[in-house]
Amino acid sequence: MGAGDVPPRATQVAALEMELSLARRPDVYLVLNPSARQLEVKVRGVALDRIPLRGVEKILHVPLLSASSPPPFPLPAVWRVVDGPGDSDREYIAPTELRPYKAEGYDDPPAAATPTRPGAPPPTATPIPEPPASYRAQLDCGWDLWITETLPPLGFLARARAAVRDGWERLRGRGTHPRPAITLAMDRDDAKRLHHLMRSGMPLLVLADP
Amino acid sequence: MLVVALGVAAVLARFGHAYAAYPFLHVPDERAATGDAQALGQRAARAATALDRLRPTGTYLVVDTYRNRLHVYRDGELLRTAICSTGTGIVLRDPRTGREWVFDTPLGERIIETKRRNPVWAKPDWAFIEEGMLPPKDPNERFDDVSLGKFGLYMGDGYIIHGTLFKSLLGRRVTHGCIRLGDEDLEFVYNTTPIGARVFLY
């Protein structure tokens, strides 16, 4: 360190060491920088994609006039996705029965893989469901990671309406109890791309303020 | 009437919940907040050097499996971007055993283990089950010397960067996990990428 250099903060050093431990493995990891409002997709320390965030909030489902606020997180920290939406929202195909193999029979290619022949209709791909733009993934820190295009309405009147509606549903035994969520608001296409990437066990490094 | 309605709403609101947002406050992790300035400087330099060593040099590939693009880099400079096809993410279940195959292109880092001209595909069981057929007993029935095109770059565990007969499906997620390229892009990637090159997939 040179004479004019500013010594690094302990949290910066800790974040660097945490990232090093993640980068030693060949897996994809995410780096959330709340103050820069940015989420990075990284492998081996290389930023492969950067997603700008419109908002980073802690969102809780609480009584309307609740005075309690959640305790601050100790950061930096590495949390892991417990149930990756990229794993759980999958389409299954299962033939009901299998017929004996015939070489000539296999020459009938599947619809998804028919080569284009003169005069033949063009091949079509098996349709893949469009990923959602708003979804939740459980984190091992006890919170959810809520990826959404738009934050829920948070003004007092909107919250009062939501509380009345939720009170009515609770009275009918159908109340919802969403887990507290670290909420990242981003563009629709970014949210879909992240859904495709977010697998169970994927680490999320959350940086502290610079 | 209005008073009654407001009263009911107030009672319901008393028991109901609504979303509330709180700023993303944090405290320094106690485990992180240790050490004097000199020790912290040394730790930071060590970690930064180690991270630098993990980053790729020479020729490497980056595959965006959502947008279906393959990028060829050399020493950080982008040489070429190709449209590719990657895995559907669909799960196939064997009706006899319940065994499942996930048609995902793997994410993370892989290495080009071998390269072959005119690669031959030894079809695994899923290739037959997907067609509603039992896998053949004669191993010779499994070989296919057409589907993979002129070149193959093998990344391990059966994942290959190869050609395709189905050019119109490039740019879409249609494969069983392999990466398909058009002829010209495949030849460029084959000639440019050495064995041992790193492939970053996300």
Q: What is the CATH number of the domain that holds B73?
A: 2.40.440.10
pLDDT at residue A168, as a whole number: 84
The whole-angstrom distance between residue B163's C-alpha and the CA centroid of its chain comes to 18
Paired sense of beta strands A144-148 and A135-138, if any = antiparallel
- Tokens matching residue B74: 């050399």
**Does B82 fall in a domain?**
yes
- Give the C-alpha separation, B44 to B118, whole Å: 49
Domain count of chain B?
1
pLDDT at residue A112, as a whole number: 43
pLDDT at residue B30, as a whole number: 60
- Give the C-alpha separation, A37 to A184, whole Å: 9
- Give the C-alpha separation, A82 to B2, whole Å: 48
Q: Are A188 and A133 within 8 A, CB to CB?
A: yes
Q: Cα distance from B190 to chain A (closest Cα, Å)?
A: 22
Taking the Cβ of residue B139 and every Cβ of chain A, the question of whether any pair is shorter than 8 Å is answered with no
Q: Cα distance from A85 to chain B (closest Cα, Å)?
A: 12
> DSSP assignment of A14-60, as one string?
HHHHHHHHHHTSSS-EEEEETTTTEEEEEETTEEEEEEE-SEEEEEE
Average pLDDT of span B86-101: 93
> Roughly what angle, to the nearest 10 degrees, separates helices B37-54 and A10-23?
30
**Does B45 fall in a domain?**
no
- Give the C-alpha separation, B189 to B83, whole Å: 12
Q: Is residue B167's pLDDT more than 80?
A: yes
pLDDT at residue B6, as a whole number: 78
Nearest by CB to B40, from A10, A66, A171: name it: A10
- Give the C-alpha separation, B123 to B125, whole Å: 7
pLDDT at residue A68, as a whole number: 74
**Does B13 fall in a domain?**
no
Q: Are A188 and A14 within 8 A, CB to CB?
A: no
Give B130's contacts in chain A (Cβ within 8 Å): 93, 95, 110
**Does B3 fall in a domain?**
no
**Does B74 fall in a domain?**
yes
List of residues 6+ apart from B139 with CB closer than 8 A: B122
- CA max distance for chain A: 78
Ramachandran assignment for A168, one of left (phi > 0), alpha (psi -120 to 50 degrees), beta (any other): alpha
Q: Cα distance from B57 to chain A (closest Cα, Å)?
A: 11
Least CA distance to B29: which residue of chain A? A74
pLDDT at residue A125, as a whole number: 65
- Residue appearing with tokens 């993979």: B148
Instruction: Give every residue of chain A whose pLDDT is below 50, as ranges.
Output: 3, 105-117
Strands, DSSP E only, in B53-127? 59-64, 69-74, 77-87, 91-93, 100-102, 108-111, 114-117, 121-122
Give A13's contacts in chain B (Cβ within 8 Å): 32, 35, 40, 43-44, 47
**Does B4 fall in a domain?**
no
| CA-to-CA dists, residue A209 to A75, A185, A203, B25, B26, angstroms | 9, 19, 19, 9, 8
List of residues 6+ apart from A37 with CB closer than 8 A: A52, A53, A54, A55, A56
Least CA distance to A49: which residue of chain B? B202
What is the domain extent for residue B96? 59-201
Average pLDDT of span B38-50: 92
E strand or H helix at B41 = helix B37-54
DSSP state of B21: E
Helix (H, G, I), strand (E, B) or coil at B90: coil
Chains A and B form CB pairs within 8 A to the count of 283
Least CA distance to B23: which residue of chain A? A57
Q: Are A18 and B49 within 8 A, CB to CB?
A: no
pLDDT at residue A105, as a whole number: 44
pLDDT at residue B27, as a whole number: 75
Paired sense of beta strands B114-117 and B91-93, if any = unpaired
pTM above 0.95, yes or no: no
Nearest by CB to A46, from B29, B56, B65: name it: B56
Interface of B with A in 33-62 (CB under 8 A): 33-35, 37-38, 40-45, 47-48, 50-52, 54-56, 62
**Does B70 fall in a domain?**
yes
- Residue appearing with tokens 């007993």: B137
- Give the C-alpha separation, A196 to A131, whole Å: 7
Q: H helices of B73-144, where? A: 125-129
**Does B95 fall in a domain?**
yes
